[in-house]
């Protein structure tokens, strides 16, 4: 079929025309940008077209409809496939607070600005930039990991909010993925968890194209993926040709009929032209085709060779009559159902609205524990467990779990009705991720972008296993909660393999991530108040294994100073301090002991508790100067971690007490003495700092 701008076609010809429109938009965008991956969109265009046009329950007029099906492009390098679908389907833009706007999420001018500065078409899809993108993808495996969290969210919402004759949640989650997604460890972790939980609302579409960026996939990948997924407990089906719309339709129907397993659809595709007989080398290796190759490809499609960004007449109307009409009717039926639900169950509807807008219930902070002064004290993991349970009782959509360490992390929700989330029993709020830190992080992000407030927990040292998920939460402005215990050499005999050293500095370097290391039990309560107020930033809450003193707040400043990131905990009476001691976490009490000894020696000292660098940096210059006055250059930081970064607060004349090597296996008291975390060591450094500035 030869295409012109006014080609009029119907039926199967219109299917082909629409598919080739997706392909040529991808080709033209990549060619104009001189950057990107045209091959995967070209090969997968029929798959995306069949799914969106025939099966996806999605209304382009309301892309934040709560019961919409979710589509995740885990192979995010194929971003032009998603951008083309958003454009042709006429998906609306969404503004602040989920307000649907009149303009398109993906107008043609944005496709023409593919990969350009400030565009809504970055090289990999970003959910905080582009309406209609459900989650930020690109690092392979992350999207499928997020999709498991989204599917968990769907099951949890249905179990907790559906009522007889009011099935307000029954959406499905579709994730398109590549060989790379299934090679990445996080993809295996996520698939294993999904199979165990029998997430029948989850469908992965595996683009089996036998190609990687380096070359043929069989250079590095020869496993039997289908058998692996059968072992995970998935329903597995195959489509031998990505261009076969009828077979694709039957595969999606198989998914919809499967009630007790997630589904993997293996689609054999040939990256490039979309023909089983042709494959393009440039497309396969993530490069623009080049002008001459573009002409050849368009000639193969029967496309005008000189046309760029062509959408033939009838294509947009075809999508409007397909996904647009079907999605609009489904949303209309749902809104009518939800209206009746809201009248009959107003409290549940109020919860849903608050969740949707990242709001908190009235009185969410009632009955939060306060802790009496206690020289022996308790571990901040213990105090956090108490506060977490109090908060979770007040916030019914706060759910989460640990990577096989809930008992140790103190993250089990123990109140009546909390329950466990298990296969077939989806109402529980305790998630069991198993030893799958990376899969846990990706799933938590999927839950959070589904508007459930979710947390995941493990030992701080193992934050390294989930760093990519933490980074993506920060990038896409998702308020995920990551709880890390066993935060220092203070965990003792387990030794350097489990003792975090560089993790604090590393996470503090990450943009848009809040790191909180509270210094006693009451700082923990204040930290949770701060966490629950976050709407666009994830948090790493870093907690001790060992008991630390609960400070006497009648003697020292109130723990509410946590809200400003750092505050003056103890000060020199009636005069400017000679030296400032700055501590975090378990080292705050050590600074206070040194402060008392310095005071007895006649050295005027100030102690600053600094649980969060990031929150402190958000304060105005007047407040920051009041805590760390520039004229006081004698400063000592004390933290059982790498000293990297503390220069910004202690200055060139300051001292830093910290770790300069990996830890050791020994009882805590021996480690503290060996590595210099003693009162005498802090006092000695403070004296030297004062002397150096006089």
Cite the active site residues: 437
- 516, exposed or middle or buried, with CB in 10 Å at 0-12, 13-18, 19+? buried
SS3 347: helix
Of all helices (H) and strands (E), which one includes residue 241?
none
605-609 sheet: strands from edge to edge: 567-570, 605-609, 579-583, 635-642, 655-659
382 within 8 A of 407, measured Cβ to Cβ: no
**Distance separating alpha carbons of residues 450 and 4, to the nearest angstrom:** 42
* Residue labelled with tokens 């493990």: 458
Q: Are strands 398-402 and 92-94 parallel, antiparallel or unpaired?
A: unpaired
SS3 545: coil
What region does 68 belong to: left with phi over 0, alpha with psi -120 to 50, or beta? beta
**Distance separating alpha carbons of residues 265 and 50, to the nearest angstrom:** 13
Of all helices (H) and strands (E), which one includes residue 266?
strand 263-268
* Residue labelled with tokens 């060996």: 674
* Residue labelled with tokens 């958000």: 618
Nearest Cα to Cα of residue 524 among 539, 503, 507, 509: 539
Q: Give me the count of residues in the chain.
A: 694
DSSP secondary structure string for all residues of 430-498: EEE--S-HHHHHHHHHHHHHTT-EEEEEEEGGGGGGGHHHHHHHHHTT---EEEEES-SGGGGGG-TTT
Torsion of CA 443, 447, 450, 452, to 10 degrees: -170
429-434-437 Cα angle (round to 5) = 100
**Distance separating alpha carbons of residues 76 and 590, to the nearest angstrom:** 48
């Amino acid at each position: 079929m030869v295409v012109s701008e006014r080609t009029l076609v119907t039926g199967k010809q219109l299917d082909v025309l629409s598919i080739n429109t997706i392909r040529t938009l991808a080709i033209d965008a990549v060619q104009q940008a001189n950057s990107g991956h045209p091959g995967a969109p070209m090969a997968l265009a029929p798959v995306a077209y069949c799914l969106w046009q025939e099966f996806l329950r999605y209304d382009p007029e309301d892309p934040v409809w709560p019961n919409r099906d979710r589509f995740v492009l885990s192979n995010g390098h194929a971003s032009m496939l998603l951008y083309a679908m958003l454009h042709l389907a006429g998906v609306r833009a969404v503004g602040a607070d989920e307000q649907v706007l009149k303009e398109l999420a993906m107008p043609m001018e944005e496709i023409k600005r593919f990969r350009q500065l400030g565009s809504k078409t970055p090289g990999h899809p970003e959910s905080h930039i582009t309406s209609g993108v459900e989650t930020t993808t690109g690092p392979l495996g992350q999207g499928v990991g997020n999709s498991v969290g989204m599917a968990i969210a769907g099951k949890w919402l249905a179990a907790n909010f559906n009522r007889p004759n009011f099935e307000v949640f029954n959406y499905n989650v579709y994730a398109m993925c590549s060989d790379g997604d299934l090679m990445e460890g996080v993809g295996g972790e996520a698939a294993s968890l999904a199979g165990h939980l029998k997430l029948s609302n989850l469908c992965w579409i595996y683009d089996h194209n036998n190609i990687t960026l380096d070359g043929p996939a069989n250079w590095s990948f020869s496993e039997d993926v289908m058998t692996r997924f059968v072992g995970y407990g998935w329903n597995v089906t195959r489509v031998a040709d990505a261009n076969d719309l009828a077979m694709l339709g039957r595969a999606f129907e198989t998914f919809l009929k499967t009630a007790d397993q997630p589904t993997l659809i293996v689609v054999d595709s040939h990256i490039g032209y979309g023909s089983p007989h042709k494959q393009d080398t440039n497309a396969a290796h993530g490069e623009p085709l080049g002008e001459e190759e573009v002409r050849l490809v368009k000639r193969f499609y029967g496309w005008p060779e000189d046309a760029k960004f062509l959408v033939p007449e009838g294509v947009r109307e075809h999508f409007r009559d397909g996904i647009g009409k079907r999605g609009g009717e489904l949303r209309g039926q749902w809104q009518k159902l939800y209206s009746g639900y809201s009248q009959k169950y107003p409290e549940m509807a109020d919860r849903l609205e608050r969740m949707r807008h990242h709001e908190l219930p009235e009185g969410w902070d009632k009955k939060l524990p306060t802790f009496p002064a206690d020289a022996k004290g308790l571990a901040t993991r213990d105090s956090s467990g108490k506060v977490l349970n109090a908060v979770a009782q007040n916030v019914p959509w706060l759910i989460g779990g640990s990577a096989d360490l809930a008992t140790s992390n103190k993250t089990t929700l123990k109140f009546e009705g909390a329950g466990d989330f298990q296969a077939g029993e989806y109402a529980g709020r305790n998630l069991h991720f198993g030893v799958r830190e990376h899969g846990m992080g990706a799933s938590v992000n999927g839950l959070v972008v589904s508007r459930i407030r979710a947390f995941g927990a493990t030992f701080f040292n193992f934050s390294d296993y989930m760093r990519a998920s933490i980074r993506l939460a920060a990038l896409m402005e998702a308020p995920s909660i990551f709880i890390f215990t066993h935060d220092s050499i203070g965990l003792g005999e387990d030794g350097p393999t489990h003792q975090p050293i560089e993790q604090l500095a590393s996470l503090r370097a990450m943009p848009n991530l809040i790191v909180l290391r509270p210094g006693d039990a009451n700082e923990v309560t204040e930290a949770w108040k701060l966490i629950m107020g976050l709407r666009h930033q994830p948090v790493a809450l870093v907690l001790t294994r060992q008991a630390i003193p609960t400070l006497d707040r009648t003697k020292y400043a109130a723990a509410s100073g946590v809200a400003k990131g750092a505050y003056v905990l103890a000060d020199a009476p009636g005069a400017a301090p000679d030296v400032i001691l700055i501590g975090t976490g378990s080292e705050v009490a050590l600074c206070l002991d040194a402060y008392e000894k310095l005071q007895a020696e006649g050295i005027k000292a100030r102690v600053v508790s600094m649980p969060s660098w990031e929150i402190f940096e958000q304060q105005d210059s007047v407040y920051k100067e009041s805590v760390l006055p520039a004229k006081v250059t004698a400063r000592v930081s004390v933290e059982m971690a790498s000293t990297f970064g503390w220069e910004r607060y202690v200055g060139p004349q300051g001292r830093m007490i910290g770790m300069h090597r990996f830890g050791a296996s020994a009882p805590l008291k021996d480690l503290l003495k060996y590595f210099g975390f003693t009162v005498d060591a802090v006092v000695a450094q403070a004296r030297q700092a004062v002397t150096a500035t006089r």
